[in-house]
Amino acid sequence: MVFPAFFVFMLSFLFVSDGIAQSFQGGAVTQSKMNPAIAAVGEFEASASDDKSLAHPHQLRFLGGDLDIYAYVDPYFKAEMVICLHHKHAGFEEAYLESMTLPAGLKLRIGKFKAPFGKWNTVHGHALPVINMPACWERVFGEDGLNESGIAVSEMIPFLPTYHEIIGLALNGENQTAFNGAATRDLLYMGHLKNFFELGGYRTLEIGISHARGRNNNINSPRLYTNVTGANAIFQWKNSMLPLERAFTLWSEIYYNQRDTLDVDDVQKTHISTGYFILGKLQFLKRWYATCMYDYSGDPVNTGEIIRNVSTGVSFQPSEFSEIKLEYRRTMSDRSEQDPINELKAMVVFTIGAHGPHAF
């Protein structure tokens, strides 16, 4: 049913765009803006761990990089391509077209992109404040997160004194961890509600709610589904008027995962797990930042293991084009035979070219 609705929507969009094109007098998007902004981001990492299961507990490696191409296509669309050249794989991390002229404040995005499930999932790894990913997010969506091909329609809710945006998505459901990849014929459906508040005194608060539902098996009977519900909250304070710049961010997300499974007798059951993280980031000098994060991961795939991580780190940004991070993490499992794992990582991130700011 989604395909006829999509074609009707696109036909309506063509009629609207044609009317806008006839009234367009030029100059809304200059030629300079239509020239692509191209940037390359590289990451180098050094790590040391006492994890006895690792073949190489001490490593120096170039993780790879991203090639980011962003431009206005014409007065009606803008596009972005992020080509990932990673040490494990290479390909398009994102490649999408986004509208700018739909009526009633609507926006349409088509292509491959990071789904707006919470905030963490939308941010590229090199732009995150920490080196290690929270286990609660990684065990639900996998190492690459919820990154899908599909369609997203968003709209700002009008007539309200604060910013509110609602987003609806139809995605391929290619995620291997939560939704069994492309083996199913059904699409993955997702929604996100974003709320942003100006609190005054250089303070802001963003609160979001997300839900995703998709098949996790490839047989017709029984049809097994995964439902993931999430909530995120980000409080930020920044005052650049002080003699020394100061800023503070408190960021938390929670994931509630319901996964249909079959037991040994082929009886359908629903496995429920939760996970969350709390992250604090403090700018204590002009170019210096300190971070501290705690994350708890339930058991999303019924392996019987609960994981808790505590990490702390410091980072230095010589400029907007480079960053040096140092981070210590301690991982604790509820399995009695497994000792806590201590890990130390250092990372250098550098950017070449005109890399636009990340939405935050």
Question: Domain of 200: which CATH number?
Answer: 2.40.160.10
Q: Which residues of 136-152 are buried (b: 16+ CB within 10 A; e: fewer)?
A: bbbbbbeebbbbbbbbb
- The Cα–Cα gap between 41 and 39 comes to 7
Q: Can you tell me whether residue 3 is helix, strand or coil? A: helix
- Note whether residue 183 is domain-resident: yes
- Note whether residue 40 is domain-resident: no
- Note whether residue 246 is domain-resident: yes
Q: What is the DSSP letter of 133?
A: P
- Note whether residue 2 is domain-resident: no
Domain range enclosing 171: 105-353
Among candidate residues 90, 150, 142, the one with its CA nearest the CA of residue 115: 150
Contact of 233 with 207, CB cutoff 8 Å: yes
- Note whether residue 358 is domain-resident: no
In this prediction, residue 22 carries a pLDDT of: 46
- Could you tell me the two tokens for 22? 């006839």
In this prediction, residue 184 carries a pLDDT of: 61
- Could you tell me the two tokens for 287? 């170019």
- The Cα–Cα gap between 220 and 295 comes to 37
- The Cα–Cα gap between 279 and 254 comes to 12
Element (H, E) at 20: helix 2-23
Beta bridge partners of 94: 82
Task: Kindly report the pTM of this predicted structure.
Answer: 0.86
Among candidate residues 302, 293, 222, the one with its CA nearest the CA of residue 257: 302
Tens digits of pLDDT across the chain (360 residues):
555 555 544 545 444 455 444 444 444 555 566 688 899 999 999 999 998 888 889 999 999 899 999 999 988 999 999 999 887 778 899 999 999 878 878 999 999 999 999 999 999 999 999 999 999 999 999 998 999 999 999 999 888 889 999 999 999 988 888 887 656 678 999 999 999 999 988 899 999 999 999 988 766 667 889 999 999 999 999 987 777 789 999 999 999 999 988 887 778 888 899 999 999 999 999 899 999 999 999 987 767 789 999 999 999 999 989 999 999 999 998 875 778 999 999 999 999 987 665 555
Q: What angle do CA 322, 326, 328 make, to 5 degrees?
A: 155
Beta strands in 201-284 (DSSP E): 203-215, 225-239, 246-262, 268-283
Q: Which residues contact 267 (CB under 8 A, 6 or more apart)?
A: none
- Note whether residue 84 is domain-resident: no
Q: How many domains does the chain have?
A: 1
Q: What is the DSSP letter of 274?
A: E
In this prediction, residue 355 carries a pLDDT of: 67
